[in-house]
Structure 1
Amino acid sequence: MNRSRFLRLLTASGASAFAFRPFRALGAIDYDFSGTPAGLRPYLHAPRPDSMRVSWWTDADSQTFIDYGTDMAALEHTVSGTRNVLGSNYHYHTVQLTGLQPDTYYHYRVRTENLTSAMFRFRTPKPLGTATGKFRVLVLGDNQIIDPAQRRFERLVERAKKKVEDLYGVPIEESIDFVLMPGDQVDVGTLQHYRHLHFEFNGWISPYLPIMTTIGNHETYSDPGLANYKAVFHYDDLDCLGVSSPDPEVYYAYQLANIAFVHTSSEHTGAAQTGWVQDLVSAAETNPQVEWMISLCHRPYNAEQYIGDISNWMRNTAMPIFARTEKHVLNIGAHHHLYARGQTREWPVYHIISGGSAWDQYWGQSNEADYDDVQKTIANWAWQLIEFDLDARTMDVRCFAEANVRFPEANRWSYHSRLIDHFQRKLDLPAPDAPTLAAPPAEPLELPLTLESSAYVSATGENLNSTWFQIATDTDFKDLKVDRIRDVENIFGDTGAPDFEPVDIHADLDIIQYLLPANALANGSYHARVRHRDTNARWSPWSAAVAFEVTGSSAADDPAITLQKHVYALDERIRIDYDGGPGIATDWIGIYRKGDTPGPVASTLWSYVTGSSGFREFDAKLTEGEWFAAFFTNDGYTEIAPRVPFYVGHPPTLATGKSGYDEGEAVAIDFTGGPAGVTDWIGIYRIGEAAGEANPAQDWDYLNGTRTPPASGVASGSLAFDGLPKGYYYADYFVNDGYFGIAEPIHFSVGTEISVVLIDSPVVNPGDGFTVRFSGGPGTPKDWMGIFRKGDTPGPDPLTAYLYVDGNTTGSVTFQLPDLPPGDYWVALFINDSYTEVSNRFEFSVPGNEELKIEESALDGSSIILAWPSRVGTDYDIEGSDDLETWETVRSVRGTGGRIEETVDAGSTEPRQRFFRIKTR
């Protein structure tokens, strides 16, 4: 149904008037923000037992003073600081208070030559190494949206403050020690967003509690060198246990009480940061003054929505280093705008996502998967409270939800600090007892089979949280066929409209049992074991293994062999997994050089297999070059699975000077360290296209820069590729005139507005859904389609609507925007959660009745002339009514604006109302 505005004409002798019905929003907000803090709002950060940094903004003031003391009636100290002019109307004032006493309340006010703040109070941290009392941390995720109307992050902060003060019955600075923020404090790294988003929205708490920030991807937008971030936040004087960061502000650590807090950067991973984490863990492990460690990384350890959009550096590199010490108990991420919690598979470490209240994220919006190291994902806007009982050596974490983005705005903020998660980590508690696994029948059995663990037993009082079942073909459990962790509670998805409540998909599951359905395993011999995890995240020892044999199975897997990678070092062990084999005792796996024919040519390495599935490892060193593995049956040379090629040797390194090139600009690909074969070559392919005979390269050259092989190998150099059409590409190093790439491919783009977006019509009827088609996208996980008003600049100006495209390079998204106001808009594709446009801007309009206006009116009220602007290709009906119930068509028009004259009861002496509206057809 089309929404329309009304033009009312009140006619009488010599009188006329008109009025418009305003655009109706979904509903009024349920909280009055007229009480939002005003005036100078100081911002505390970099807390130390003997110092505190205090900052604030003014438009133009030059002086910087703080008056402070332990008695608010007598502020006995006054200190001056620095004023940094970062831009017009962006004067940044900073004072570092030093010589303070630990665990002491200080009253203070900040002032300039023109302004003086209200009186505030903060508490300095406890002495380093303190191991008694309570230590509490407030965690607030992505700030990100500046939205001056909704101010959604400000609501989250205000409600967190209220809940904390209700919980403890004291002002927030008496109960909370400081605030952690895991990244995306802004939407773009501009001064406007730092001042009017991060500082302003945190004004409820920033004068009372120090806030410590983490680099997110949005801090780098519009500020790739982080100049604004480093001008605003000062962490370069912090260290932890004598370990200083090689790149302070970008990643850094500090100690408060007996807890080490480590802020890593998911946007600046590399050897330097990894080495720094190693040094911190080594120092903390041997230092008795640190008993706890918490790490932060903006992109999370894992996520069940927008799967794959995580920090692989944290998951695969940093977390194993952190896990070397059991002092590391919690990793905090963000990036996804919801709450999630899980436990790492192997270690007693919790990980959470604190997604704040940023851009909308909800179930059904993206690619999703249920992971066994994520116990719950709840699409609410929420915040967390961490409480350490330092005497009891206990960490208690609670998560409070405030809002659900799927609710209409009128009741969106209706949760009122609902407790949606609670977990603990306690040091020194023993693990649960090892379970036993009931032995299956001794004779061969047909599936289904239920494996059953003994009951959970623990001396600590902790409850059962998880079970871990493994089934393998070998007694060392290296060739795993089942490797499954299940939690007592597994929150995944929601109930849908109208309540959107979280769903526990394990509500009716007995995790003590594990069902192997029919045909779940191929015929053969297996070993199974189980262990239990308690609510303290501690695993029991494994049970003793039980053996069983499966028969009568018709598992449909074809024989296959797999390798863990495709390039190996000269002295590296090679593991080959096999599956779906016939199970004949003389089945075997062989390794051959490329070009060898099994049979006439003997294998270089070979081994019999055991059963229909398993793995074999080969220790003998292979010479440099291309090889393949093959799966043979019954001591013969009949191959029963596709060959798997691999390369042995030093992989080359490819590099390019930049990630984006202009059309017509030569793309330089540098190479070094490769095998330097005379027919080795470098090829350029479009993203999403695989190299092969059926898919020729966009461009290629041998290593000498020509298409004639060189007389001798070229070990290093640079190739220039001209004339690439605009698009997204990757380059790889291929060996021996073949299509086997052995380098880590490098990615780059050519041109601007590479992608194409299109709507079928440039006019979208009010209330109608519309589809935006796209092609030539970058194919990164969080590419998104955004709608802005005409004339707006992405980032500084508010976003009207958006949808992610799920990493697709070609496809469509459909917007359902029933309340999109009339006006002119444009839509474009943006790359990977950034404000970098990668497509054309497709302009469209939403017509509305506010365009219908009175141009002239007869003095006697007998007629009016209505006018409207031109909108080519749009059909309109001009309708009139005396009572807003019975409408008649006055005029139908198409494709242009214009003027119409409407007669209204000529000669009438009585005033009357006449309503008009314009509707699109």
Structure 2
Amino acid sequence: MKDLLLRSILFLIIYSVFTLTVAQVPTRKGWWKFDDKTNILKADVGTDLALQGTSKTIDGPKANDFAVSIGTGSYLKMNHGITPASGNFVNEYTISIDFRVASIGRWYCFFQTSPTNSNDGDCFINTTGNIGVAATGYSLYNIKPNEWYRLVISVKNGTHYKYYLDGQLLLTGTIQTVDGRFSLDKTLLMFADEDGEDSEIDCSEISIWDSALGAADISILGGYGHTIGSPTGKTHMLIPFLQNPSTSSMFISWHDTSSTVTKVDFGTTSSLGQSTNGTSELIAGTYRWHTVQLTGLQPNQEYFYKVVSGSGSSSVYNFRTLPGANYTGKIRFLLLSDTHNSDTTMSSKIIREAKKNMQQLYGGDIHKNVNLVLHSGDLVVSGNNITQWTTQFFAPMSPISPNIPFLTVTGNHEGEHEFYYKYMKLDNISGYPAPNAFSERFWSSVVANTMFVGLNTNLSGAALTLQNLWLESKLTEAENDPKIDFVFLIGHHFSITELWGQGITEDSRPAYLTNQVFPILKKYSKVIQYSYGHTHGFERGTVESQSTTPRNDFRMVCGGGGGGAIDRWGSYINNDYPNIHVTIDNFCYQLIEIDVANRTFESSMYSLGNASKARNNELMDKWYIKVTQQAPAAPTTSLPTINESQIVFNTSKISSDSLMTVRIQIAEVIDFNKTSIDTMVHWKNIYKADASFNPIDKNKGIDLTKLSFKRTALKNDKTFYYRVRYRDHNLKWSVWSNVTSFNTPTYIAASTIPAKFNLEQNYPNPFNPVTEINYQLPEVSKVRLSVFDILGREISTLVDEVKSPGFYSVKFNGKNLSSGVYFYQLRTNSFVDTKKLVLIK
């Protein structure tokens, strides 16, 4: 009787505990156990899943338990049935996934919130077995292959984003915004990634809740018995950031909350064998930055290393020192800018795609073939926000930062904040080393035959004067050094931009570039490129050299498509500048290769598209400099072809390379002291995009050897002279051609009274300083012809009177105006038309 009573009591206790446990976990909105082999995607709770791609049924983690293996490139569609409680999308939910992977070293994806699989995945296992995503951070814990785990992600956007593994807190991630990237549409894609980071993965169970489960609920859910240890925060600990390399040294920095040890173990093999100690500095809060400078290294040598601090040691990584003075191989670098964004989806993707591309182009060990990463500023959204330095910069850069060293300049979003100068170690290459107040503000570093210069375009006042003097000294140094072939500069701000017109007058930085920096750069023959950001997109233009020993012109290139929200066409004022030849509103990066022995420079821009049209590492622009290539031979001119409407100037083909630009001068005097036309025409003018979001080339189909001008551009019954010179894509100019004279016959109009109102495009355009505006009136009209600046202010009235029907021509002189875009408008009682004119001095 006692035994029966004890068994009854024991049963009641077990039943009560079981009932309490079940009651403590909220009811699921969806539950898929994959145990019905006849319908493996059947829902135990909710709606059946749908398969896109391939899968197979496999044995699960327990006897008589089944699972599904989702093939590479395949995914499951889940209609979760959760109704948004706040916002337009589901912002509070919990997902549980029982999973297993066969190996580490590949990317695996858990889910993606885009129902069309058009964006990057939103939770990964990276190649070292860490779980997370750049936007939220990654765990320090590394999963093991061929073992089952239960991952639970509890989300309440605006409040928390937490990862749990086998019932234990794995990572407190960066809090996400309401209705942002991590909110759910009606359909959730499990295991989907749009660009191949979705290797085969096994899954034995998926659950979803319409609430953010707490730690107690998740602990009850349990898992497969792994001990996770202390959860990680967002400080991105023990992930190295290489910076400021040289032929004999390397700075290695990393986060760790502990201050007890700062050490790097290193060597020329994976056995390491040497150690160097360093120092740590508390940046803010718990963010402690450890730095070791390795010195006494050999040039162009591969080293293996790991970082060691109070929380432990990192994996073993490797890097290569810069090549020495006698190096004759190739140097390569990745160029980035404006990677800052609170949503790091695109900046993280750009880094991964750039790494993949570099591996395909140069080989799998990128540290052996790529020397440097240059970043021209705007690393974070707010330089004074300590968490952003990890979530927006160090974490997204981490796929390459342990292997390739960085050199950066500060952007306007860093705002000269102390965090930038605490994190970046530039003193030994600084224009004015410590204890000077301007230490690390601007710097230079020589790699083989190339001098790299980092400018600070945030400075003002006396600091700019100091920077200018230093810049002159470095350019003179390069000019006098026969071993230096190229000077490559980075700074954050632009001189002009086509995508973001408001930015030109937003502050004084563009004027500083235009009026102070560029006049300095023009004087030196070895300058090949000034790279900038600030505008979020890609732009490429040219600046004419004024060196007394000219070699070639130089380029100004915007690489601001690094992850910040793209400045789309039409979002801001757009200006079509003649010396910007290619503008594309895409996310992008650049890879640059310098062949030291052959003295050549080649740069390529790769695009990832934009929100309207994705692109997959598409090569969209390419340019070069070849020092030893001769300039084009003098072109030959012949008589132009003239008819009632146009004049076509006939010139020879270019002698070598390919024709980029023709400069043509037309004058009534043979010495060309006073010209009727003096303009440059380029092979290409990519400006804006079509309905399919492809770039528009406004000069498509142009034949630069047959330049065409309106007949009305030149006076009737006059003798004119013309000549041309050619610039090739190597940015070298020919000398002037022979001079050809021609006569303009008198043009007789088909009718003395126009059939309609018309305002013609001014000519020449661009102009300096005089241009001609033609218009026609079909009837007696009160006419007002005015010129306006870009802000809409009337700056000149050319005509303001009653006019008879007929054809009219008016000269406009802009000698007292600044270079820029202006507008002219013809207004009558029944007609209004406005056109743009560009003054370039």
| TM-score normalised by length of structure 1 | 0.54
Q: Is 1:104 paired with 2:298?
A: no
Amino acid at match of 2:450: I
Amino acid at match of 1:500: F
Q: Distance in 1 between matches of 2:770 and 2:606?
A: 48
Give the counterpart of 2:441 among 238, 244, 250: 250
Partner of 1:503: 696
Partner of 1:734: none
CA contact (8 A) 2:431 2:442 kept: no
Partner of 1:173: 367
The percent of aligned pairs where both chains have the same amino acid is 28
The within-5 A match list for 1:437-516 is: 437-440=637-640, 448-458=646-656, 462-472=657-667, 474-477=669-672, 479-496=674-691, 499-516=692-709
Partner of 2:541: 342
The within-5 A match list for 1:58-207 is: 58-73=256-271, 75-127=272-324, 129-147=325-343, 151-190=345-384, 191-207=386-402
Displacement of 1:554 in angstroms is 11
Amino acid at match of 1:397: S
Q: Is 1:416 paired with 2:610?
A: no
Amino acid at match of 2:125: G
Q: Structure 1 residues 35, 402: CA separation in 2 closer, same or farther (over 3 Å shift)?
A: farther
Amino acid at match of 1:431: A
Amino acid at match of 1:168: Y
Q: Distance in 2 between matches of 1:206 and 1:398?
A: 21
Give the counterpart of 2:452 among 248, 257, 261: 261
CA contact (8 A) 2:383 2:414 kept: yes
The within-5 A match list for 1:636-655 is: none
The within-5 A match list for 1:606-645 is: none
Displacement of 1:131 in angstroms is 4.4
Q: Structure 1 residues 579, 182: CA separation in 2 closer, same or farther (over 3 Å shift)?
A: closer
Displacement of 1:34 in angstroms is 1.3
Q: Is 1:34 paired with 2:124?
A: yes
Partner of 2:609: 403
Residue 146 of structure 1: SS of its match in structure 2?
A: coil
Displacement of 1:201 in angstroms is 0.9
Partner of 1:546: 740
Give the counterpart of 1:315 among 508, 514, 517: 514
Q: Structure 1 residues 359, 389: CA separation in 2 closer, same or farther (over 3 Å shift)?
A: same
Q: Is 1:55 paired with 2:253?
A: yes
CA shift digits 1:152-174 (9 cap, x unpaired):
20111011011111222221101
Q: Structure 1 residues 63, 476: CA separation in 2 closer, same or farther (over 3 Å shift)?
A: farther
Give the counterpart of 2:577 among 371, 394, 399: 371
Amino acid at match of 2:695: P
| Number of residue pairs matched by the alignment | 541
Amino acid at match of 1:93: H
Residue 383 of structure 1: SS of its match in structure 2?
A: strand
CA contact (8 A) 1:46 1:235 kept: yes
Q: Distance in 2 between matches of 1:336 and 1:230?
A: 24
Q: Structure 1 residues 541, 288: CA separation in 2 closer, same or farther (over 3 Å shift)?
A: same
Displacement of 1:527 in angstroms is 3.6
CA contact (8 A) 1:241 1:283 kept: no
Q: Which moved more, 1:116-125 or 1:511-520?
A: 511-520
CA contact (8 A) 2:432 2:439 kept: no
Amino acid at match of 1:88: G
Q: Distance in 2 between matches of 1:486 and 1:160?
A: 34
Residue 454 of structure 1: SS of its match in structure 2?
A: coil
Displacement of 1:366 in angstroms is 2.0
Q: Structure 1 residues 50, 466: CA separation in 2 closer, same or farther (over 3 Å shift)?
A: same
Give the counterpart of 1:381 among 587, 605, 613: 587
Displacement of 1:31 in angstroms is 3.9
Displacement of 1:472 in angstroms is 4.1
CA contact (8 A) 1:446 1:552 kept: no
Q: Structure 1 residues 527, 306: CA separation in 2 closer, same or farther (over 3 Å shift)?
A: farther
Q: Structure 1 residues 245, 131: CA separation in 2 closer, same or farther (over 3 Å shift)?
A: farther
Q: Is 1:276 paired with 2:473?
A: no
The within-5 A match list for 1:707-726 is: none
Amino acid at match of 1:335: H
CA contact (8 A) 2:432 2:440 kept: no
Displacement of 1:500 in angstroms is 1.0
Residue 158 of structure 1: SS of its match in structure 2?
A: helix
CA shift digits 1:141-195 (9 cap, x unpaired):
2111031xx5220111011011111222221101100100111111111222222
Q: Distance in 2 between matches of 1:380 and 1:688?
A: 30
Partner of 2:230: none
Displacement of 1:503 in angstroms is 2.1
CA contact (8 A) 1:340 1:376 kept: yes
Amino acid at match of 1:142: D
Give the counterpart of 2:422 among 226, 231, 239: 231
Partner of 2:730: 536
CA shift digits 1:578-629 (9 cap, x unpaired):
7779xxxxxxxxxxxxxxxxxxxxxxxxxxxxxxxxxxxxxxxxxxxxxxxx
Q: Distance in 2 between matches of 1:86 and 1:243?
A: 19
Q: Structure 1 residues 337, 578: CA separation in 2 closer, same or farther (over 3 Å shift)?
A: closer
Displacement of 1:253 in angstroms is 0.9
Q: Structure 1 residues 295, 525: CA separation in 2 closer, same or farther (over 3 Å shift)?
A: farther
CA contact (8 A) 1:341 1:376 kept: yes
Displacement of 1:492 in angstroms is 1.8
The within-5 A match list for 1:893-912 is: none
Partner of 2:221: none
CA contact (8 A) 1:240 1:254 kept: no
Q: Distance in 2 between matches of 1:485 and 1:370?
A: 14
Unpaired segments ≥5 residues, structure 1 = 1-7, 9-17, 561-575, 582-641, 643-686, 692-741, 745-780, 782-921
Q: Distance in 1 between matches of 2:125 and 2:671?
A: 65
Amino acid at match of 2:553: P
What is the RMSD of the two structures over their aligned residues, measured on CA atoms?
3.7
Q: Distance in 2 between matches of 1:553 and 1:367?
A: 39
Q: Structure 1 residues 504, 71: CA separation in 2 closer, same or farther (over 3 Å shift)?
A: same
Displacement of 1:19 in angstroms is 7.2
CA shift digits 1:869-900 (9 cap, x unpaired):
xxxxxxxxxxxxxxxxxxxxxxxxxxxxxxxx
The within-5 A match list for 1:559-598 is: none
CA contact (8 A) 1:522 1:553 kept: no
Residue 517 of structure 2: SS of its match in structure 1?
A: helix
CA contact (8 A) 1:182 1:296 kept: yes
Give 1 or 2: higher helix fraction.
2
Q: Distance in 1 between matches of 2:586 and 2:443?
A: 30
CA contact (8 A) 1:240 1:280 kept: no
Residue 78 of structure 1: SS of its match in structure 2?
A: strand
Q: Distance in 2 between matches of 1:166 and 1:231?
A: 35
CA contact (8 A) 2:430 2:440 kept: no
Q: Distance in 2 between matches of 1:241 and 1:390?
A: 29
Higher RCO, 1 or 2 (CA under 8 Å, sep at least 6)? 1
Q: Distance in 2 between matches of 1:230 and 1:100?
A: 25
Residue 152 of structure 1: SS of its match in structure 2?
A: helix
Amino acid at match of 1:370: D
Q: Is 1:208 paired with 2:403?
A: yes
Q: Structure 1 residues 55, 518: CA separation in 2 closer, same or farther (over 3 Å shift)?
A: same
Displacement of 1:364 in angstroms is 2.0
